[in-house]
Every structure is written in structure tokens, then in C-alpha cells.
Structure 1
Amino acid sequence: MSSGELPRPSDDVPQPSGEVPVPSGDVPVLDALDAQVLEGVAGGESTVQLAARLYLSRQGIEYRVGQMLRRFDAPNRPALVARAHALGMFAAGQWPPRVLPKHVR
């Protein structure tokens, strides 16, 4: 190897692929209302906007978001959206974000 060459990774060292391996059983299935709340959070809607659109109280939205934060083991709303995206729950290339039907019961 010359001085300008970088060392090649050996075949026995695992290389990062950029994908998070997720067992199929670990992807939560949401009810229709939770899917709508997650879509709203992913689209940047506030609690008040979500409550008005879904005809729920602010506390009802906060309760549902809190339940999803625990289910997805996420510390906050951006992490919740990132986790759902990493799990493949959103349709690709679609705005506003939509949860795929296979993740809704």
C-alpha cells in the first residue's frame, strides 16, 4: 500500500449498511386514530391543531402521543417520527406523511 492509499476493510469485519435491522415483530401496529396523530406529528402539527382536526381535547392528543412515545421508546416527538420512519411505517416520497395501511389495524 502506498502512502496515499487508505487501508481496505477486511472481509471479517462487519461494515455498516446504513439500515437498522428490525425484526418484523417489533414494528408496532397502530389503531386508526393513533396513525392520524402520528401523521400529524410527522407533518409538524401542534397539539392544538391536531385536537381541532381530530375532534379531541388537547389532553387526549397528549395522552396518545405519550402512549406512542413509550411504545416506540422515544424521548420526544422528533425522535418518535424518526423511529417510525426508521421502522418503515411511512409511505416513501409522500407529503403530508401517511402511515402505511399494513401498520394500521
Structure 2
Amino acid sequence: MAAEWGAVPGRLRGRNVLDLFRPRATAQLDRLGEALRLGHRSRYRVEVCWLPVSEVEARILALAATGATTAAVGKAVGLTVDGVNYHLARLTRRWRVPNRTALVAKAYVLGVLSPGRWPPEPAGQRLRSTQSPHMPPEGTR
């Protein structure tokens, strides 16, 4: 698990695991909590999934990948400069990267941004049109 976050196991100690993962079923956490309360030390399996990046964070990352300034990113997504900085700082801490360049690189590695596209776009976003931008719309030829 630590390798997925680019850390050694000891560096995850003290971090809130719910900041990194979401349990698939809350009943699993209830069972684990009860076992811990009773002092049981057995290993309990809990199925988790990675916490997704929010739609706003994905758009901010895509715009940051284009080299846009913080002010330009804020204008494009409807946030203040402080709001954009909040999201970038949150992702920087969560992914444990030192700067914006490393943050964008990590977004590509984690599959948050679609590789091979310019301008960058979030991986889950589908193309709005299957037509080439250089072709006139159908029926106008």
C-alpha cells in the first residue's frame, strides 16, 4: 500500500487512512472497530477503493498542466486564487510531491489526466465531439 503512495511503510504511520481510501462497505469498518475495541489483534480484510480526485481538482490539474497561472486557472473554474491554491496544496500534501510540476506528473502517472491529449483533460472526460476541429460541420459542405 505504501508503494502506491510513493512512500515506505513507516511514512504512512500516523496518517488517517480514510484520507487515502474509502471502504466499499461501512460494515467492514464496523467489524474492524469492534475487534479493535475488544483488543483482538487478528488481521481483518477491508476492501477499499482509492479516493477519486474531485471534478474541480481534475480540471485544476488539467489547466495546471497547460502552464496556466493560478489566476487563469481560478478564472476558468470559477474559484479565487486562494481556492485554487487550496486545492493544489491539498493534492500536493496528499500525493506527497514537492511542487506543481511533480503534481502534474503524478496526475499523469495515477491516470487522473489523459495521456496523449493536448490540451490536457481529465481522464474520465469524453470528447464532446467526434468530429475533427478542422472539418466543417456536417451538412455545410
TM over 0.5: yes
Match of 2:61, SS state, is helix
Structure 2: gaps (5+ residues)? 6-47, 126-141
Structure 1: state its 5+ residue gaps. 1-20
Q: Percent identity?
A: 30
Q: CA RMSD in A?
A: 2.3
Determine the structure 1 residue equivalent to 2:79: 56
CA shift at 1:71, angstroms? Answer: 1.3
Supply the AA of the counterpart residue of 2:101: P
Task: Describe the SS at the equivalent of 1:34.
Answer: helix
Matches within 5 A, 1:21-32: 22=4, 28-32=51-55
Letter in 1 for 2:93: R
In our comparison, the structure showing a higher alpha carbon Rg is 2
Runs of 4+, deviation exceeding 3 Å:
25-28
Tell me whether 87-96 or 30-39 shows the greater mean CA deviation: 87-96
One of 88, 102, 105 as aligned partner of 1:82 = 105
1:38 alignment counterpart: 61
Return the alpha-carbon distance in structure 2 between the equivalents of residues 96 and 85 of structure 1: 13
Residue 26 of structure 1 deviates from its aligned partner by 8.1
* Distance in structure 2 (CA, Å) of the matches to 1:36 and 1:80: 13
Q: CA-to-partner distance for each residue in 1:8-51, whole Å, 9 max, x for gaps?
A: xxxxxxxxxxxxx859x786511111111111111111101011
Aligned length: 81
Q: From 59, 72, 77, give the equivalent of 2:95.
A: 72
| Separation (CA, whole Å) in 1 of partners of 2:49 and 2:106 | 12
Report Cα offsets for 1:50-91 as digits up to 9, x if no partner. Answer: 111112111001001000101111110000011111223221
Counterpart position of 1:12:
none
Task: Considering Cα pairs closer than 8 Å and 6+ residues apart, tell me whether 1 or 2 has the greater RCO.
Answer: 1
Structure-2 change in CA distance of 1:67 and 1:77 (3 Å): same
Q: Which residue number in structure 1 is paired with residue 115 of structure 2? A: 92
Taking the aligned partners of 1:76 and 1:32, their CA distance within structure 2 comes to 21
